């Protein structure tokens, strides 16, 4: 299972990331909740909602109603766009926007515009009871195919002579926009010490991308045999970078 990033970043393809997310959700006929949250707020994890992944992600997974409404129901604890607060709720809003605006499921959209064009045919993205794919989790991909997504980034999103995603968008997504202890882009963790970025999934499923030295590394689990490195993604990235440099 991989905590995906690239597909969410396709939300910026031809869209205004400062447009209010609620406007998209309201137009789809779903229950309206008054929240002034933009796509950019969602992409940078600065939505301002009191969504605690340690407690509410399981509730989100088991939710039998409208998941967008569930994500938007907690109170606002910060002004939108001000405070970085990493959580699983905001990517589900972005996934709902993509599905609503494209007329395709998030899984189908991701396959058509990103995965299939780079030779990835076998993947799975689980759906919730409301019919929408989970935006922040439950995506299944082989390690070799995950590596392909990093390779396409190294190649400026050019795959066998075809431009897959506007590379200016990838540059924007992998630039620093927010973060607390660790810089953050649009669903990418930024690691200045290796001039690269990471996608980090549950349990240590990590994609390291360092374009300056053409390095792509897939990690499938944290090294639990070494307590020093457990859950230390930056240290792992720096070790891999040093070994390859």
What are the tens digits of pLDDT across the range 21-68?
666 555 555 555 567 788 899 999 999 988 888 888 888 888 887 787
More confident position, 102 or 145: 145
Domain hosting residue 179, numbered range: 6-244
Q: List, in order, residues 6 or more apart from 111 with CB less than 8 Å away.
A: 120, 123
Average pLDDT rounded to a whole number, residues 160-166: 91
Look at residue 55 and tell me if it is in a domain: yes
Mean pLDDT for the stretch of residues 76-90 = 90
Nearest to 33 by CA among 42, 46, 24, 44: 24
Number of structural domains, the chain?
A: 1
CATH code for the domain in which residue 73 is found: 3.40.710.10
* Distance from C-alpha of 141 to C-alpha of 122, rounded to nearest angstrom: 7
Q: What is the pLDDT of residue 6?
A: 37
Return all residues near 16 (Cβ < 8 A) that are at least 6 apart.
39
Domain assignment of residue 25, yes or no: yes
* Residue 10 included in any domain: yes
In-domain check, residue 81: yes
Percent of the chain at pLDDT exceeding 70: 82
Instruction: Tell me, yes or no, whether 1 lies in a domain.
Output: no
Give the residue-averaged pLDDT of 122-144. Answer: 89
pLDDT at 9 over 60: no
Burial class of 161 by CB neighbour count within 10 A (0 to 12, 13 to 18, 19+): exposed
Q: Which two tokens stand for residue 167?
A: 């590379």
Cα–Cα distance, 240 to 245 (Å, whole number): 9
Note whether residue 64 is domain-resident: yes
pLDDT at 29: 56
**Lowest model confidence (mean pLDDT) among 34-48, 65-79, 101-115:** 65-79
- Kindly provide the residue ranges of all beta strands, DSSP E only, lying in 126-175, ordered along the sequence: 139-140, 158-159, 162-163
| Distance separating alpha carbons of residues 17 and 131, to the nearest angstrom | 24
Other CB atoms within 10 A of residue 3 CB: 19
**Whole-number pLDDT of residue 101:** 83
Residue 181 maps to a domain:
yes
Rounded to whole angstroms, how far apart are CA atoms 89 and 67? 9
The two structure tokens encoding residue 32: 């309206």
Q: Which of 23-37, 58-72, 135-149, 183-197 has the lowest mean pLDDT?
A: 23-37
Q: What is the DSSP letter of 38?
A: B
């Amino acid at each position: 299972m991989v905590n995906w990033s690239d597909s969410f970043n396709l939300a910026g393809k031809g869209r205004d990331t400062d447009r209010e997310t609620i406007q998209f959700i309201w137009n789809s006929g779903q229950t309206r909740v008054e929240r002034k949250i933009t796509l950019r707020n969602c992409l940078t994890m600065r939505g301002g909602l009191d969504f605690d992944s340690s407690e509410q992600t399981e509730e989100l997974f088991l939710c039998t109603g409208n998941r967008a409404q569930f994500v938007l129901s907690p109170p606002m604890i910060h002004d939108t766009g001000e405070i970085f607060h990493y959580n699983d709720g905001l990517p589900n809003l972005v996934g709902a926007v993509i599905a609503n605006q494209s007329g395709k499921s998030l899984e189908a959209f991701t396959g058509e515009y990103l995965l299939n064009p780079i030779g990835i045919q076998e993947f799975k993205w689980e759906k919730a009871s409301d019919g929408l794919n989970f935006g922040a989790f439950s995506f299944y991909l082989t390690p070799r195919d995950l590596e392909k997504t990093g390779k396409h980034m190294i190649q400026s999103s050019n795959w066998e002579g075809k431009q897959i995603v506007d590379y200016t968008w990838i540059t924007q997504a992998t630039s620093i926009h927010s973060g607390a202890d660790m810089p953050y882009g649009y669903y990418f963790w930024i690691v200045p010490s290796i001039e690269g970025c990471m996608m980090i999934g549950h349990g240590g499923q990590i994609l390291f991308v360092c374009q300056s030295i053409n390095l792509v590394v897939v990690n499938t689990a944290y090294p639990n045999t070494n307590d020093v490195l457990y859950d230390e993604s930056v240290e792992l990235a720096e070790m891999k970078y040093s070994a390859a440099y």
